[in-house]
Amino acid sequence: MPQFVEPELARMVDLPAGGPLWVHEIKFDGYRMQLRVEKKRAVLLTRKKLDWSHRFPEIIAEARSLPDCIIDGEIAALDARGISNFSDLQSALSDKETAGLVDFAFDLLFLAGHDLRGLPLIERKTLLEQLLSKKLPPLSRIRYVEHYKSSGKEMLEAACRTGLEGVISKRADQPYKSGRGNDWTKAKCRGGQEVVIGGWRGDANNLRSLLAGAYRDGKFLYMGRIGTGYNVKSAGELLRKLRPLEIAQPAFANAGEIPRARDLHWVEPKLVAEVEFGAITSAGILRQASYKGLREDKPAKNVVLEPQPAAAESNNNHSTSMQKANASTPAAKTVVAGKKGVVSGHKGLIVRGVAISNPDKELWPATNDSPAVTKGELVRYYEMAASRILPHIAGRPLSIVRGPDGIGGEQFFQRHVVPGLQAYAKPIRVTGESKPYFSIDTEDGLVALGQVAVLELHPWGAKPGEPDMPERLTFDLDPAPDVPFDAVIASAKDMRAQLQHLGFTPFVKTTGGKGIHVVVAIKGAPKKPLTWTQAKEFARDVCLQIEQGAPDRYTTNMSKKVRGGKIFLDFLRNARTATAVAPWSPRARPGATISMPLQWSKLKPGLDPAQFSIPNAAKLLRGSDPWKDIDATAVSLAAARKRLNAS
């Protein structure tokens, strides 16, 4: 096994290649690293063969559990959105806080005495995935990079909408070839490249902008100023490194083209920086350039002007302009409109522009009565049911149940945005809460929920956009284990009759378990909005009245000691910050059941709530929506209160 293998490099292209011979990977914004393990000794080498093992001690420690091998990868830092961020990587290295860094492994060159470079890429990746899954825990700092066989163009559009760096495309059938060739290509969402710092504007203690350049035909040429991207800390670090390099005359061969200023300082062209920019002129000058960090893995003499993606010529705003530009292409229209909802990959999917990892992972195992349901099938369900789900969660604070390892693993009930959802979640400020809640208002957002394995949706019953104003009351009929479902059906009809007597139009749904929800829409007076206290107290009094009429069948006491043989009338779903499972929401229960809205005529003895499930979703969604008019049926709570008090 050699001490080092010259890495294979990607050629810059405007758009990724397409066709069955190509696979696509996410482009990470970090340091290319070669991990070499021999006899339990691990080293990390840069693409110029510098030993950086000491800079990543946590990754080195985990790598020692691997057999002899050479792994090609990229070390990166992930931001709060779960997206690689070069500035965060630089900060982590500067502060020596590297425990959170990840080595994203995408190729395996040697393994246990065997040279794998002659194998097709797809075979090398299969061996790499098997190696890491067998030798390392699932959340190791050394992680396998998934690949996709979807359209390269659609993959790039998805990456750009998500805020990623871009896409690396590779020939699946080719061996590993050191150097830059045509088998690997890279397409970026925004212009970016390495530059050499040739000076700064400011003084010894203040940095106003950097003067950047690159080499062309052996000449060091000026490429413009970089005036954003650094903070007080990074600016101070830059000045400490720039001051010792100061020289009297500029090193730029075209220094005469640089706008003159009194506070210009020239430096030896030794420091390499990573920048991104909105455009580059025909004269080679960067526009809207932003500093990302210093690169220590590449000599300044090797920095040349790279060909840039076509996107960089027209996009000044990474998130907004790129979406507009992409939306004008036929492929983007297909993805955005959902006309071609799912693009299949070898190990992944792209659904409505969202990259889905591990789509074959089982989240609900098979039962005697139901097939297993995978992550990919959950995502497809969210896409298919989006028009039914969104009216009940959009604009409302949302709590979620996540199960990254499925219903058999650890589950998390979360009220605040989790990594992977930031690009889709709309923050909602709630009085008295230090962190904002969030809502999901788009079909893309629902698909993103599936990507992070959200198994249940629990919104507030609030008016959209106004979390302090209740808009719906939920009466949860929760039976004791010994109560048959037919009895719950009968109790739902009792609740319906009582609410109709009070002037409401009740709506009904299963809960995905053995319970039933009866829901009504409410409203206040124009100058006297409703409060959550009024909503909860009204719901409580309705339940108490029903309990008093049949104490042998109902209870409002949540204690399990007194609930045997009875149905618990749960009115607490109507308190401030309380939630109820959304209509059409999946449940983290065997069989992948869903909370199914029903016509009252369908609520008959013998009904089995287990039939309403993700495997049966396509059939269920073909029918009309029994809840489509719920908001139009709102009744004044004050008027209903008068009727209740009079009864």
Last residue of a domain, one of 272, 289, 308: 308
Q: Does 329 fall in a domain?
A: no
Q: How many domains, in total, are found in the chain?
A: 3
Alpha carbons 134 and 441: distance in angstroms, whole number? 40
Q: DSSP letter string over 465-486? A: TEEEEE-EEEEEEEE-TTS-HH
Rg of the chain on CA atoms, in Å: 30
Last residue of a domain, one of 159, 181, 203: 181
Tell me how far apart the alpha carbons of residues 188 and 278 are, in angstroms, rounded to a whole number. Answer: 12
In a domain, 48, yes or no: yes
Task: Give pTM, 2 decimals.
Answer: 0.54
Are residue 141 and residue 196 in the same domain, yes or no? no
Residue 208 within any structural domain of the chain:
yes
Closest to 34 in 3D by CA, of 82, 58, 2, 11: 2
Domain check: are 115 and 200 in the same one? no
242: amino acid identity, one letter:
L
Q: Residue 478, Cα to own-chain centre: how many angstroms?
A: 34
Judgement on whether residues 155 and 205 belong to the same structural domain of the protein: no
Instruction: Give burial (CB, 10 Å; 0-12/13-18/19+) of 20.
Output: exposed
Length of the chain counted residue by residue = 647
Asked if 303 and 294 count as a contact pair (C-beta separation under 8 A), the reply is: no
Same domain for 195 and 168:
no
Q: Which two tokens stand for residue 507?
A: 């709506």
Shared domain for 273 and 375, answered yes or no, is: no
Residues 26 and 76 in one domain: yes
In a domain, 394, yes or no: yes
Handedness of CA 12, 270, 86, 275 (dihedral sign): negative
**Listed residues 308, 338, 371: the one ending a domain:** 308
Domain of 52 in residue numbering reads as 8-181
Tokens 């004050």 locate to: 638
CATH of the domain at 286: 2.40.50.140
- 245 and 265 in a single domain? The answer is yes
| CA proximity to 387, closest of 634, 622, 631 | 622
Helices 86-95 and 232-242, axial angle in degrees (round to 10): 70
Is 89:30 a contact under the CB 8 Å cutoff? yes
**Do residue 228 and residue 374 come from a single domain?**
no
**Residue 103: which of 59, 69, 146 has the closest Cα?**
59
Q: Is 230 helix (H, G, I), strand (E, B) or coil?
A: coil
Name residues of the chain where pLDDT drops below 50: 309-347
Give the pairing of strands 398-402 and 454-459: antiparallel
Q: Residue 322 falls within a domain, yes or no? A: no
CATH number at residue 591: 3.90.920.10
Residue 336 lies inside a defined structural domain of this protein: no
Does one domain contain both 458 and 605?
yes
Lookup: tokens for 577: 């910050």
Does residue 71 form part of some domain? yes
User: 586 with 634, same domain?
Assistant: yes
Cα 122 versus chain centre, distance: 26
Is the same domain home to 556 and 464? Answer: yes
Structure-token pair, residue 630: 């719920």
Q: What is the pLDDT of residues 228-274, one digit of tens each?
A: 787 778 888 899 999 999 999 999 999 988 888 888 999 999 999 98
DSSP, res 305: P
Residue 380 belongs to some domain of the structure: yes
Cα end-to-end distance, the chain, whole Å: 87
Within this chain, do residues 199 and 154 fall inside the same structural domain, yes or no?
A: no
Residue 10: partners with Cβ closer than 8 Å, 6 or more residues away: 168, 180, 184, 185, 186
CATH number at residue 110: 3.30.470.30
